[in-house]
Structure 1
Amino acid sequence: MGERNRVGAGPVGSEQMIAEARKAVFVMFAFVAFVWLVQLANFADGYDLSRDYGVVSREPGALPHVLSAPFLHWNWAHIESNSGPLFVFGFLAAYRGVARFLALSLLVAVTSGLTVWIFEQSAANTVGASGLVYGYFGYVVVRGLFDRHLIDSLIGVVMAASFAYLLTVAVPGTPGVSWLGHLGGLIGGLVGAWLFRNRRPRGDVPGPGPAAGPGRADGDPGQLTQGKPSAPSGHPRADLHKELRDLGLL
């Protein structure tokens, strides 16, 4: 984006990233804690909450439950298996912006729940946060490609390579598992990565740079960043240079 830093100032991008990451930790801690509090109430009530507010296919009264089902589970093993991935993938989805993460969560909950509500053939009652997990996973894997963001692209590659086995539970064949909910969540995460991508105006040009001086020849379009030249806005490597500056490598 051609962002400039004052000579001697710290990298603004990295500071903002750290602040958002800190906020994301608290958000995900509160999110998972709330899910566990709901589980305690659900357990004390004999899991009536899951029976009353889960998603049952093509039942009109259960359609609003697409928003409640992700917070409900059938037993302790169910919530334990979801909590770790929920926190990890949720944090990775949220550290670039909590507001965007909340919008993504709503989208994924709807796509996951609607997929079950429309296509599930049995009368099974579906609950659980795994649809969100798959949505966050899909979002994290492709977000860097849509945002043209080096760090996020590297994270996506690592997550895709490390957790590719998750895709085996998003296809038919695993008994007792709502693969439709997983698939719907995954699709929602992929769509969300495109919908909530960073939209950069074409030809975005920053304000006038500093006058010619050390490290910059008169008429050189490069910009000074802490006394070091960087690619001008619109240059194919401009985004890469900014990411390297955020990492302290330039």
Structure 2
Amino acid sequence: MPELPELEVVREVLEREVTRRRIMGVDILRPTVVRDLTQEGFVEGLRGRAISGVWRRGKFIVLDLEAGRHLTINPMLAGRLQLAASGDKRLPRTALILRLDNGRELRYADRRDMGKVYLTDDLHTIPTWDEIGPDALDPALTLEVFRERLSRHRGEIKGILVNHRFVAGIGNAYADEICWHAQLYPFRRRPELTDEEIARLYHAMRDTLAEAIEQVRAQIGDEIHLKPREFLAVHNKGGAPCPRCGTPISQITARNRITSFCRQCQPGTLVRQ
């Protein structure tokens, strides 16, 4: 699943490379991923319009178009964007191609067909848009605001971190990384956390995501379809030594997701539900 660090770098690249470019053609190869919320027609509503800006909200990438229209991409579990020359090889299961006025193509591929690409004049018509909490790196999300928002939840730390209503942009991989950096057991419940542990969690969230953006930016360049994660400390590295203490990393499946953590640095007991 693309998460905040990858999508922030995607935003940076697209803002630099496609802003002020005009969409000359649209090819829909897998209609199940596109949603026309304008009633004008997906192709007709895109063709000929210039891209005026690119921004991100949580895990959504938004391309602003002329006349207040938006092309909004929610990649979900397996969606990827590709910026390529027209003759370059397509990613498997490419679903949508935007042909730009400089001869390049912006493509969306999704090996699971779970993501969606919305064309809309009103962002509030997009499913889940109005449910999204503040971005995990929003400057307005201070420690005090974080504490207040966290107090509304009573569940497990990891489950809260991946809840887009709490904060936006964090998925399974970076929730593992944040908990490891904070030295907190991912299945600890929120009411058990001390004030000091909440502060550790907040600063681990901010630092982990900011450092990951730097790593992703350095590794992918303009190849926005890549998702480098070799630099992660624990996620999906079961059995490898913990970078902090050397204990083999534990990896379990619980709550319908894989969780990776260090039993030495992040002690705790999972209560099965």
TM-score scaled by structure 2?
0.26
Question: Of Structure 1 and Structure 2, which has the larger fraction of its residues in strand?
Answer: 2
Q: Per chain length, whose mean CA-contact separation is higher, i.e. which structure has more relative contact order (CA < 8 Å, sep 6+)?
A: 1
Question: Of Structure 1 and Structure 2, which has the larger fraction of its residues in helix?
Answer: 1
TM-score scaled by structure 1?
0.28
